[in-house]
Amino acid sequence: MTLPPPIDWREAGLGIDADIPEDRRVTGANWRTWPFNRWAFQHTRRLVPSVPLAGADRPAPLPERPAGLSTLRFADENDETLDWEAYVASTYTDAMIVLHRGAIVYETYRNGMTAATPHHLFSVTKSVVGLVAETLIADGAVAADLATVEAVPELGTSAFAGTTLRQLLDMTDGIGFDEDYANLDSDVHRYSASYWMPD
């Protein structure tokens, strides 16, 4: 499958305001599809209910040690050689930061993104939360067998009520959820229709 070329939402004139032409206007029905998602993933709060999370009052600065990733070369799915910059440019990346041993070795922002721009994360959220939880377990700050409802009391009346943190992290909690995107009757599509499709 050939993907359309990445575009910058500003150059494409995408947005949500009434003065934007209809063929460029982002709506609740199209915000997750190309090209509208180029704007929408940085402006999700204007489309669906969400709450901003405040950053740390005094974030710990990370040292910068650029690693020269631009010298990397590899083959793409068509067996064509790409350098790092060509690869990142082809992936619809809005922002990327690469850390190694606590230092920033690569950082880039594209498509109107800045270090302060909020961006929709989708399932990346669970990966970050899982990594933090595993770090806390490894440091002895949290027990792996902690009951889920002790960590998140709001889940006390949900299917997660009898589970542990370890079961959630290992995805062995036994809670059924069909995430088959090809099946339009799957749980993921019912979930999406109730929240992700505001129109």
Sketch the domain layout of the chain as residue ranges.
Answer: 6-47, 61-118, 121-199
pLDDT at 199: 59
Q: What is the rounded CA–CA span in Å between residue 34 and residue 61?
A: 35
Assigned token pair, 44:
């999700």
pLDDT at 55: 82
Best CA proximity match to 75, nearest among 91, 63, 61, 87 = 87
pLDDT at 26: 96
Torsion over CA: 122, 44, 47, 24 (sign): negative
Q: What is the rounded CA–CA span in Å between residue 167 and residue 147?
A: 10
pLDDT at 183: 87
Count the Cβ atoms, other than its own, within 10 Å of residue 136: 15
Assigned token pair, 83:
């350098």
Contacts of 89 (CB under 8 A, 6+ apart): 6, 110
Q: Is the pTM of this model over 0.85?
A: no
Low-confidence ranges of the chain (pLDDT < 50): none
The tens digit of pLDDT for each residue in 57-98 reads 898 899 999 998 988 998 888 898 999 998 898 889 999 999
Q: What is the rounded CA–CA span in Å between residue 118 and residue 13?
A: 19
pLDDT at 177: 85
Best CA proximity match to 95, nearest among 71, 126, 119, 123 = 119
Question: 166 and 144 in contact (C-beta within 8 Å)?
Answer: yes
Extended beta strands in 44-168, E state = 73-75, 81-83, 95-100, 103-109
Question: 50 and 44 in contact (C-beta within 8 Å)?
Answer: yes
